[in-house]
Amino acid sequence: MPIRRLIIAILIIGPILALLAFGFSRDAKYIRSPLLAKPAAPFTVTLFDGKKITLEDFRGKAVFLNFWASWCAPCRAEAHDLEAAWQKVKDRNMVFLGVALQDSDPASKEFLKEFNVTYPNGKDESGKIAVDYGTWGIPESFFIDPQGRITYKHVGGIRASLVLEKLEEAARGIASAQEGRGDYQGVR
Amino acid sequence: MRVRALYVLWVLLVLFLKPLSAASTPDIEDRTREIAAELRCVVCQNLSVADSPSEMAQQMRAIVREQVEAGRSTEEIKAFFVSKYGEWVLLKPKTTGISALLWILPYVVLITGVIGVLLFVRRVAAGKKAAVAPELTPMPEPAQRPIADQGAIEIPDLEDTTPRAELLREDERLRAELAELAFDFQSGKLSEADYRALSRELELRRSLALSQLAAMPPPAAAPKPERFNRVKKTKTTESANGLRRWQLASGAAFLLLFGIVLGVTLTNSIRPRAGENDTMTGGFMTGTGATNNQADAALAEGKRAFDRQEYPKAIEAFKKVLAGDPGHPEAHSYMGFILMQAGHGDGALMAFDKALLRAPNFPMALWGKGMVLYQDKKDFAAARDIFERLLTLMPPGEERNEVAKVLADMPASGVTGKPNASPEHPAAAPAGNVIAGKITLDDKLKNRVDPQAPLFIIARQAGGAAGPPLAVKKIDRPVFPLTYSLGQENAMIQGMPFTGKLHITVRLDKDGNPATRGAGDLTGEYKKNPVEPGAKSIDINIDQVAP
């Protein structure tokens, strides 16, 4: 009888405590992004050289989309890696697109000049693109397959090797189950 | 006539539409605010989009407003944000699916608790009633009825749970209480009236227990079937006692565990975040390596002491932080600055290196290391490398300008790994003679890098492979890609001219000895060797493994 009561008590109390501990141990931001394996939100961005491009323009290519700001230290830390990765794939059916967030034009341009960034970059004027991509920390990178589906999301700084690996996956339409994580800075 | 008709129509439209639009604008505002109040600001701590002053929240509010104006329903707008950020963006979780549990569970627990309390109160009341009932039949005064010794002969076994044993224990307990009461009265803690009233009550309860006991047959004479029948009669009392004990034990265990879980998790959860990447609970269960409350407090105390220049106190505080997290970059950096202040350049360098081992791009440690190399070691080349790296990491601003200024003021020459430049050999070289470029690490070798291995950049006279190199530069814990420069200041023998055709190679050396190349060292060389001093863009990729 006492053993049965003990088991019943554990069965009632255990899950409540486990639920409590689980809830406190999770950072809600890292719950799986709803964007993975879903169609990427369409957008139009004005590049710093004045041209306008849309995501649709890149249909049929694997896309690396990177949100950044000149005031964000992890963005600076990854800048060389991104350019190095771009240099390796620029002649293939892959495109890079940088989108500056919450930044001034001169500061963004200075950043691009400083790190000798050669792939196209524009500015998210209204912040709508960032919201459409569920952005909360920068840098944030998205990999989009040729069909326009998000295959991988990485919050924080990313290394060139991972960019290339995930781009290859995106080119083959392989979507990751989890998003990645590196050093990041919260958007303002 | 026609004009007049149009005018009347216009007036009517103005009169009709003006109040309509005046009414709709506040409505849009209200709805926007109402919806925004239900959305979480994604860059804040527990603030709604409506309440947050952040730029991101403003952008989100603008999107809410736009969608309200477009005629979307509240649910549609909320669903839009959920599709982007997940349900986390809702301040109130949905009442459907698994989230419904969050709404239902508290009520289930509350109702269960209320029922439990009601049952408990009812049981207690029933017990009291049973104890008070004998008052209806008057009993003799304590002094007149010497029951103090009754029932004292038999002592029940502790494991015996029969009604008889329970009654014997009850009798024993009441007797002890009576003795205690008498003691209190004798020692003056109780008035006579109170003593009499209380002792009478206890005596009554004891007499009830004894009368029940007397009604039972002696234990030896009790035949088994009869006992079995009696169990039925006394079952309620027995199970009530057992149940009460279990309730108390379970309640105590639950409260204890609940307290522990809350104490640990909640305090971790509401502590100040250690950094951008820190999670709700820090290192607890998530393994993210964040500091705990004590470490945070010690770090804050250390910083305050450092600002007040109370260095012994600061050292103690930072030691506490490092005891909990031996690689804490901020604590190591502060220790480095303290050692620097005290004139211990080597110790400071070691502290900054420890910080950089954990966080290779930690600006504070880079700044400190650069300053030690610059001011204490006079190793301008190494200091320049550090400051250049720091510049690439720092966003534009005053601090960055400060670093740039230090870099600009730095003399063009210095020594590498040799603390004191000999005045006889000033080792000055024209800046134009410096070889510069970028070193990268091949992707296929990234997993083979020993994080402790320093990088050597080596210049040898072309065609003269034997003998010591002409110049060597050592970079501890390099982060690739890195820019480098090699010049007269890196000459192995001071005063040896840094001229002629040079063969440039690099090596990530596991044993840290530039003179030996061991198996497994990662190497690379400039593909168009030899080069001449002053050559730029001498880019090298580390792509070989030494056999």
Most confident region among A21-35, B17-31, B204-218, B281-295 by mean pLDDT:
B204-218
Q: In this predicted complex, what is the ipTM?
A: 0.83
Q: A120 to chain B, minimum CA–CA distance in Å?
A: 21
Residue A151 φ/ψ, nearest 5 degrees: -105, -20
User: Which helix (H) or strand (E) covers residue B69, if one does?
Assistant: helix B55-69
Return the percentage of chain B with pLDDT > 70, whole number: 71
Name the residue facing B59 among A16, A131, A137 (closest C-beta): A131
**How many Cβ atoms from other residues are within 10 Å of residue B289's Cβ?**
15
Q: Is B282's pLDDT higher than 70?
A: no
**Segment B338-388, tens digit of pLDDT:** 888 777 887 888 888 888 877 777 888 888 888 888 888 778 888 888 888
Domain A32-186: state its class: alpha beta
Q: Tell whether B255 is within 8 A of chain A (Cβ).
A: no
**What's the CA gap between A26 and A41, in Å, rounded?**
28
Q: Cβ contacts (< 8 Å) between A82 and chain B: which residues?
A: none
Give the residue with greater pLDDT, B66 vs B430.
Answer: B66
Interface of A with B in 10-29 (CB under 8 A): 13, 16-17, 19-21, 24-29
Q: Is B151's pLDDT higher than 80?
A: no
Q: B358 to chain A, minimum CA–CA distance in Å?
A: 13
How much is the pLDDT for A119?
94
**Cβ pair A188:B266 closer than 8 A:** no
Q: Tell whether A160 is within 8 A of chain B (Cβ).
A: yes
How much is the pLDDT for B237?
59
> What tokens were used for B44?
């804040």
Q: B129 to chain A, minimum CA–CA distance in Å?
A: 28
Distance from the first to the final alpha carbon of chain B: 104
Q: A188 to chain B, minimum CA–CA distance in Å?
A: 6
Cβ distance B413 to B378 under 8 Å?
no
Q: State the helix-helix crossing angle for B363-371 and B380-393, rounded to 10 degrees.
A: 160
Name the residue facing B88 among A31, A115, A183 (closest C-beta): A31
Taking CA atoms, A23 is separated from B82, B296, B415, in Å, by 19, 23, 56
**Residue A18, SS3 per DSSP:** helix
Nearest residue on chain A to B444, alpha-carbon basis = A161
Q: Taking the domains of chain A in order of start, what are their residue ranges? A: 32-186
Nearest residue on chain A to B53, alpha-carbon basis = A188
- Sequence-distant (6+) residues with CB within 8 A of B318 are B298, B299, B302, B331, B334, B335, B338
Record the pTM: 0.48
What one-character DSSP code corresponds to residue B148? Answer: T
**What's the CA gap between B236 and B244, in Å, rounded?**
12
Cβ distance B387 to B399 under 8 Å?
no
Q: Is A47's pLDDT higher than 90?
A: yes
**Cβ pair B43:A187 closer than 8 A:** yes
Cβ distance B281 to B268 under 8 Å?
yes
Q: Cβ contacts (< 8 Å) between B253 and chain A: which residues?
A: 9, 13
Q: Cβ contacts (< 8 Å) between A130 and chain B: which residues?
A: 56, 59
Dihedral sign (CA A33, A34, A40, A44): negative
B421: left (phi over 0), alpha (psi -120 to 50) or beta: beta
Taking residues B246-265, report their average pLDDT: 76
Q: Is B314's pLDDT higher than 50?
A: yes
Q: Is B249's pLDDT higher than 70?
A: yes
**What's the CA gap between B148 and B202, in Å, rounded?**
11
How much is the pLDDT for A28?
57
Lookup result for tokens 């009414």: B23
